[in-house]
Structure formats: C-alpha cells, structure tokens
Amino acid sequence: MTTVETHDDSRLDAARYVGARTRRKEDPRLLSGQGNYVGDVVLPQMGHVAFVRSPYPKANIKGIDTAAAKLAQGVIGVLTGAELSAEVDVPKPWRGAILPVSQVSYVGEPVVMVVAESRAEAEDAAELVDIAYEILTPVIELEDSIADLQMAHDADSTNLVESVANASFSVVDEVLAAAPHVFSETLQQHRYVHSPMETRGVVARWQSSSQQMTVWISTQGPHPAAAHFAKILRLPQNRVRVMVGDVGGAFGQKIAVTREETSIAIAAKLLRRPVKWIEDRYENLAAGPHARRELVHVSVATDDEGKLLAMKVDHVQDVGAFGGVGGGNFDKMIPGPYRVPVVGTRTAAVRTNTSSRAAYRGPWMMETLLRETMMDVAAKGLGLDPLEIRRRNILHREELPHKTDCGQTYDLITAQETLERAIAILGYEDFRKEQERRRAEGRYLGVGISVVVEPSGMSVRRLSDGVSIRIDDSGKVQVATGSGSQGHSVETTICQIVADRLGVDIGDIQIVLGDTGATPSGGTTGGSRNAIGGGNSAMKAAIQLREKVLEIASHALEASPADLEIEKGVISVKGVPTMTKTFAEIAAIAARQQTVPEGMEPGLEALGRFTTDVSSTFSNATHIAICEVEVATGRTRVERYIVSEDCGVIINPNVVEGQIAGGVIQGIGGVLYEDFIYDSDGNPLTTTYLDYLIPTATEVPEIEYDHLETHAPTNPGGFKGMGEGGAIAAPAAIINAVADALTPFGVTKIIRQPLTPPAVLALIEAAQSRA
C-alpha cells in the first residue's frame, strides 16, 4: 500500500524513474561475478599482509623479536609499531603509535605487520614473531569500567571518556518526585556487531617518482579517507588518490579508516612495494569495530491517564579501547514521536579492554529501544493496552512543528498516521482475539509495537556529496559523485533523479563513484544522508544542465525555451514533433566556442552541491512484530512483521524496502541471535560464524510494507533519509512482542537480551518463581 500526498513536481515533464521500482544499474555486474571489490585488486609486485595480534586484553610489550620472521620464505618486510610510526603524524586517539609499542589493550590488537609474497607466507612468518608480554589485569565489563576498578590504559586516571548532560537533567528528578506514577528500569544492551559480508580490506601503492599514494579501500567515505591518509603521511591531499570500488556492506564499520588500514599505506611507502591486506573473519569479528554495548538507567513518569510527564535517561556506552565517543543523536531523539514535556538525559562513554566501538546502523538505536520498551512497561503498570498508551501520547500532525525537550524540531512527521495504518494492517483487535484463542491452545503469541523518528542527513549541512554531470559527444550522460556505495543502491537512485530531470533514458547514463581523483568532493555515507545530500545535488546539477541544453536548443530551433520539451534525450518544440534536436546534436553545437550562443561557455557540464542550514530531516515509521514463543524450548519465531513508514518522496520503493528489510533483520538478529561475547578474562568467544549467529533465510519473516509519502519541507527533492530506521525500531518491536507473549507467565518486562532460547526459559522461570 502506498499513499502519496501531492507534491510539487512542476519542473518535471514526466516523472518516470523517481518513484518507480527501477531495477538497479549495479546489479548485472554484481550478479555476473564482475564486481570489483578491494579483494579483487591485484598489482604487480604486490605484497600481502598478516598481522601478529595480541593474545591478551592488556599487557606490556617487553620485547619484539622479528629476526626469524624476517628470514622466512617469501618475507618482504616485518614492521613494528615503532617503525610504522617513525615518520608519520599519528592521530591523537591512537595514543602515540600506529600499532602499539608499549602496551596492548584488547585481544586481537595488531602489534606487528608481516608482509610477504603471499598471504600464506605472511601467515607462516607471523608465527615466527616472538613478542614478550607482561600480562596486566584488564577491565572488560562495562560496570567495572564505570567503577574505575582498573584502567583500560595505564596512562589514564579514569576510564570515563566523556559525560554530557542536557539542561533538563538537573531538574528532571523534581518532576519525577511529583509525578503520580514513575517506572524505573535498568536496561542492558549486549554487544553486537556490524558484520558486513565483505570484511575490511585495503591495497596501497606508493609511486616515489611522483610522490603519489593510491589506495584501494573498502570504505564509506572516499574523500575523507584521502584526507586521513594525506594527513598521516604528511602529503598534500591531491597526492593521495582513494579508489573505492564495490563495497560489500559496511553499516558503520567502514566509516573511519582504522589503524590496520592506515598501516598498510605506510608500509607501501616504507617497503616501496604495493601492499594488500584483506581482513579475515576472525579478525573482523574479534578485532574489527564493535557496537551496541550500552547500559541505561531510565525512569518514565506519567499521570493517571498514562500521559507522559517526564523521562530521565542516564546512559553509558562502552567504546572499547580506542573507540570514538558518540551516541550520535542518542540523547536528542529520546522522546521520539511522543509529547514528553521534560526529558533529562546524561550520556557517558567509558573505555574497556575490548575492541573499539564504531557507529552501527542507527548508532542511537538505544533511544528507541528504551523508550518503546518503557512504554510497554508503563502500560502494564497502569493497566493500559500498549496501543492505548501510545495513542494518548503520540504527536499528531496538526501539532507540528513541535520542538522536543531535547532540542529537535519536527517539521513534518506522520508518526500518528503510521501507527494507525500499521495497526489497521495488523487488525489489532482481531489479533488480540486470536492471541486469546491460541493461548487457550497453549500457544503464546505477542504483539510488539515500536514507533521511531529517525534523524537523517545530519552531516549534509557540513558538506553534501557533490554531483557532476556531463553530456558527451555521443549525447550520452556521464555522472560522477563524491560518495561511494556500500550496497545502498546509490548508483541507481542518483541516476533515476538525473534521468528524470534531464529527460534521458536511465540506460544512457553512466556513473563514477568513489574515485577521489575523478569525482567532486563529498563526505562519508552515514546517518542516512545520501538521498538528501547526493540526491538534491544531482537534481541541482541536472536542472542546471537542462537549462543550458534548452538554451542551446532554443537558438538552434528558433523557439522559446518555454516551448521546448525533452523526452529520451530528444528536445522538441511542443506541438511541432518534426522540430527536434538530439542531445548529440546539442553536444556538437556546445563543443565549440564558435557555435554556442554568444556569451555562453562551450561544453555541457554542471556541478551541483546541495546546501542547507537544516540540521536534520526526520523520517518516521511504526513497526509491529508478532512473535510466537515456544515455551517448551524458549524458541521465538517472528510470525508477522509490519512496517508503515514515511521517508518523504520515495526515489525507488525497492531500495526503500530493501533498506527497511536489511535493518529489520539486523535488529531481529541482534535481539534473538547475535551476541558478541567476551569471557571474564577478556577473551573473545564468538569469533566465527558458528559462534556469532547472524540470521539466515529460515529465521526471517516476510516483511509487510506500507508507505506514506509526504514531501520533506527541508529539501527540494522532498526526500527523508531512512537507511537506519529498520535497525533502530526492530529491537524494541521484538522485545515487546516477546514480553507480551509471556504475559500469562507473569513476565512484565524484558530488560536484557539476547533472547536466546535459554534466556527466554530463564525469563519464564524467574517470573514464575516470583509468582
């Protein structure tokens, strides 16, 4: 079901691609095995890397003996942290060295790099590196880190990296004290990880004659990666060319260039050989960026009718040994779609001797999880239905614009509409009857509702992705954009926009992405920014180029530009089908100074860059999960999953649904299956796909989609970013559904995950022993 509200598309002759289920341009290549991932890059003289990694979560490095490794067959070089750090600028968060020289801080931390003629030889030689360690007591658990029982790094006097409170945090306790009802819980979020199917990887080549570094890398940000390498290598940025081919998924793990990847470029320069490192799955799981380990104390105050009066949220996240701070908009989005007069938040980050945190798809997922699970806890406490408490608090469109106590202003969200639409698709009352009937049969179904407001395009205000368009001599279109693709279909969506605005067939457009030597500058794909940033830049460039084409054509056809139309790359005079010029003919005129209209520059090229002073564009969605819990085994099955969403003008429903589905299944995986476990000594235990379980085709429901399309007021295209909402909303929907299913057993809340079968059985047992 799709409902489209009227929006202004007067500049289009006919919208043919935007809004259509256009098949993707990238697919034939990827389906045929002709993709070009970093692992496929092969260069003459290329060496292969294996890292020697720390077996200890915390230890002093007392000595490194690389002599035997250097003599091993095929070895090109063995490099320590000291050697790699000698002539570079080390970023501050890395504590003085590219790879550690005095202390290791997590199991799997790279310590020595071995470069050999083959990966196998590099791994053989890595076994010969002898590192003497003095083992120290690590801090692994989040609670221990908060208590500063041990320091993650001996040089620190506290594990606390940052703690930020908003203005209401100091007054919220008073509101809670005066409220008729207060519900307080401590929610534990376990660690789970991005796990893209393609691991991290990089190939670097140094050309000493031209002082040029070329880096092929699997990253979310080609231009920022070039800036990163240039700064560290002390090179002008134009001496670093970053080439990003196909990227096999990222989800936040490939936002920042990590120490391993950085060391490869340094090694290429030191060894004067191209160097390649492709991470293996053990490395990715154990030592790639991690996510999600968080702890929240939350209190929700309501009146007797269940109206929200205040929320207090005290949040701590584990950023691992080197991770950057940042809940992103965690604290900004806590009230979500509800009216909450007072929201006091404090968010802190602490270090542990575990792999470093990186943003993961909806890095502020916890705000929705805590809010939506607490809505159900409050509903139970007040004797209200979870739907009813939401209806009493959800913002209606006529209340907009609405400024939250966390400083966000919602200009156009449709949370209430998506809630009602999702409820209608489910048939809520009928479900409740079905639930009763099944309970009588000893089958336990539950419904979970989760409503999300997703901030998108935050970083676009700093720098959007530029898009350039050129019409070549053959009348075909060449597009280039500064962003890359990690599978989110930008190759297609950008071309859909250009095709419509320019009036050409999408098959006549080719696009170049991710090559910093050939594309306009751009940022890092993240925070659901591509449609807003790149999409509007593409529109801007296409409109500009279209005007030039029409101006030339109007001279050639001796007609006013207003009387011209463009269809499939042919310009014609309206109502006079014989008077036409093709794009190739216009290109021929545009090619020479002598033939273009007087005062016009020759050439058919345009660069578009969207600018805005709006900090976020808000999309929204309601997710409803129906889960059945098999109480004999504790196994949870997701029976139905409904998403009603508003992501503004839809560029491609397939892409939107694909983004929702991927996010939802990651969320389901996070709640039901995925759990990255460290033992109490700091050893990672889930370092293969036999231990770290991501969902397979047998675990996933068929998702039911509903689209409500409104035109975002923040940008000409009307787009709202939506790449993360699925992963943000799904965990709470599943948790609430399981808790609802287990109500007959006295389960009133679920405050920790994952909900594996043993965990569910334990929940039932605990509830029954209380009863």
Partner 1 sequence: MDEIAVAIEVNGSSRRAHVESRLTLADFLREECGLTGTHLACEHGVCGACTVLLDGQAVRSCLIFAVQADGRQVTSVEGLTPEDGSLSPIQQAFWNNHGLQCGFCTPGFIVSVEALLRDNPNPTDDEIREGLSGNLCRCTGYQGIIKAVREAAGN
Interacting residues toward partner 1 by CB under 8 A:
21, 23-24, 26-35, 37, 39-40, 120, 195-199, 246-249, 251, 280-281, 486-489, 654-655, 657-658, 661-662, 664-666, 688-690, 694-698, 700, 702-703
CB of 627 to partner 1, least distance (A): 16
In the numeric block, the tokens 């070039």 are attached to: 226
Closest CB to partner 1 among residues 613, 702: 702
What is the nearest approach in angstroms of partner 1 to the Cβ of residue 674?
11
Instruction: In angstroms, give the least distance from the CB of 698 to partner 1.
Output: 5
State the nearest-atom distance from the C-beta of 123 to partner 1, in Å.
10
Q: What is the residue whose two structure tokens read 């070549």?
A: 472
Q: Report d(CA 353, CA 375) in Å as an integer.
A: 34
Measured from the CB of residue 726, what is the shortest distance to partner 1 in angstroms? Answer: 8
Taking the C-alpha atoms of residue 740 and residue 763, their distance in angstroms, rounded to an integer, is 13
Query: Which residue's CB is nearer to partner 1, number 410 or number 705?
Result: 705
Q: Across the beta sheet with 564-567, what order do the strands follow?
A: 564-567, 570-573, 576-582
Minimum distance from CB of 332 to partner 1 (Å)? 27
- Shortest gap between Cβ of 121 and partner 1 (angstroms)? 9
Name which of 120 and 766 has its Cβ closer to partner 1. Answer: 120
At 217, is the secondary structure helix, strand, or coil? strand
Pick 30 or 556: Cβ nearer partner 1: 30
Among candidate residues 455, 528, 450, 535, the one with its CA nearest the CA of residue 499: 535
Closer residue to partner 1, CB minimum distance, 249 or 603: 249
C-alpha 444, offset from chain centre: 34
Token duo for residue 38: 């970093």
**Alpha helix positions (H), 365-471:** 365-382, 386-393, 415-426, 428-440
Both tokens of residue 698? 């047998």
3-state secondary structure of 186: strand
Least distance between partner 1 and beta carbon 757 (Å): 18
Helices (H), 512-652: 530, 536-557, 583-590
Rank residues 344 and 669 by Cβ distance to partner 1 and give the closer one.
669
As measured in angstroms, the least distance from the Cβ of 663 to partner 1 is: 8
Closer by beta carbon to partner 1, 30 or else 325: 30
**Tokens 């006529």, located at residue:** 398
The stretches of 608-724 forming alpha helices (DSSP H) are: 653-672
Q: Which residues contact 375 (CB under 8 A, 6 or more apart)?
A: 300, 338, 386, 389, 390, 393, 449
Among the listed residues 596, 608, 733, 587, the one whose alpha carbon sits nearest the alpha carbon of residue 670: 733
Cβ atoms < 10 Å from Cβ of 309? 19
Residue type for 396, please? H
User: Which CB atom, from 530 or from 616, has the smaller least distance to partner 1?
Assistant: 530
Taking the least distance from each CB to partner 1, the nearer of 291 and 309 is: 291
What single-letter amino acid sits at 323? G
Nearer to partner 1, 695 or 757 (CB): 695
Between 331 and 657, name the residue whose CB sits nearer to partner 1: 657
CA distance 166 to 315: 12
Cβ atoms 460, 531 nearer than 8 A: no
Determine how β-strand 703-709 pairs with β-strand 635-646: parallel
Calpha distance 570→583 (Å, rounded): 6
Q: Which strand ranges, in their side-by-side order, compose the sheet holding 342-350? A: 160-165, 342-350, 308-318, 294-302, 181-189
Whole-number minimum distance, CB 282 to partner 1, in Å?
A: 8
Is residue 624 within 8 Å of 449, Cβ to Cβ?
A: yes
Instruction: Provide the minimum distance between the beta carbon of 632 and partner 1 in the complex, in angstroms, as a whole number.
Output: 21
Least gap, CB of 526 to partner 1 (angstroms): 15
* Residue count of the chain: 771
Kindly tell me which of 184 and 688 has the beta carbon lying closer to partner 1: 688
CB-CB contact of 385 with 414 (8 Å): no
CB-nearer residue toward partner 1: 618 or 705: 705
Preceding peptide of 754 cis, ω within 30°: yes
| In the complex, least distance from residue 194 CB atom to partner 1, rounded to whole angstroms | 8
Cis check: omega of the bond before 401, within 30 degrees of 0: yes
Cα–Cα distance between 247 and 36 in angstroms, integer? Answer: 8
Q: What does the DSSP 8-state code read for residue 533? A: I
Q: Minimum CB separation from partner 1 for residue 660, in Å?
A: 8
Residue 488 three-state SS:
coil
- The least CB distance from residue 654 to partner 1, in Å, is 4
Nearer to partner 1, 260 or 279 (CB): 279
Q: Tell me how crowded residue 209 is: count the other CB atoms within 10 A of its CB.
A: 6
For 471, the 3-state DSSP assignment is: strand
Which tokens is 498 given? 């250009």
Label residue 6 exposed, middle or buried (CB < 10 Å: 0-12, 13-18, 19+). exposed
Please say which residue, 600 or 700, places its beta carbon nearer to partner 1: 700
In angstroms, give the least distance from the CB of 536 to partner 1: 23
Which 8-state DSSP code applies to residue 602? Answer: S
For the CB of residue 37, give the shortest distance to partner 1 in the complex, in Å: 7
- What is the nearest approach in angstroms of partner 1 to the Cβ of residue 11? 28
Q: Considering the complex, state which of residue 636 and residue 714 has its C-beta at the smaller distance from partner 1.
A: 636
% helix, strand, coil for the chain, step of 5: 30, 25, 40
Closest CB to partner 1 among 254 and 351?
254
Residue (422 or 656) nearer to partner 1, CB: 656
Pairing of strands 308-318, 564-567: unpaired
Q: What phi and psi, each to the nearest 5 degrees, are found at residue 245?
A: -85, -140
* Residues 762-770: contacts with CB under 8 Å, at least 24 apart: 764/631, 764/634, 767/742, 770/746
